[in-house]
Structure 1
Amino acid sequence: MAGTEDPDLDRVFAALADPTRRAILTALLDGEASVSDLAEPFEISLAGVSKHLRILTLAGLVSQVRSGREKTCRLEPDAINAALIWMQGFGGFEGIDLDAVERILAGLIDDEDEAGDAGASGEARPPAGG
């Protein structure tokens, strides 16, 4: 399809393609963190984490601020909007129908209550629907 190239969107998807970068983004959901704090759980060098952060920064998903010798990283969630809008074009990415989820959960709870009642009274219950 001609005319569908979007370098910003390409950078976001390329950044999200790597599990280490996704883990870094997940860690930043808790708030700002230093590069050394972000690097701690990984079995890669600080320089390796810095390369991942550079890619996330170029994609606009992370911002970095230097304070003295330390860099602090912050999640920039708005940068993912282009990817979300693009994916919504395929449909099936609409919001969750919370009423439907509630009905399903209520049905599961009712089924568990009925099973518990049958076990307590010692009476056999006929299967549902028949």
Structure 2
Amino acid sequence: MKCRLLLQNRTRKIPRSSPMYKSCSKCGKIHDTRFKCNAGNEIYKSMQERHLRSKNAWTEKSKEIRERANYLCEVCRDQGKITYDDLEVHHITKVRDDESLLLDNYNLICLCQEHHKQADKGLIDKDYLLSLAKRREDE
């Protein structure tokens, strides 16, 4: 009987009186550990946009853009760095804004994850990205 009571006491959760906080890996802010951050979930809002990106033509175009960029982040290369890990193809003008630019070489740019996040947040100038894409296509 004493063993059963001891086991029950061990498994009982003790309520927290003050909240615990952590740094969010999605947005970088500090949240309560029980808070679910939705940062980054708004990238592909519409089902139509998701559907367009799931096509084989997009997969092939993505591979082509990486190959044309010599499998390097184009922003890093312009800054004199060489980054070839975790490359992603970024739409400079969002697909939700203009679906006709989905497969346009001048609207696509190869970026590392860090620069892709910055570009999605608008921290990298759109005209700068367009000039890098144009430079790649004109080479």
Quick check: which one's helix share is greater? 1
Fold shared by both chains (TM-score > 0.5): no
Per the shorter chain, which TM-score range?
under 0.3
Q: Which has the higher contact order (CA 8 A, sep 6+)?
A: 1
TM-score (norm 2): 0.24
Query: Which entry has the higher C-alpha Rg, 1 or 2?
Result: 1
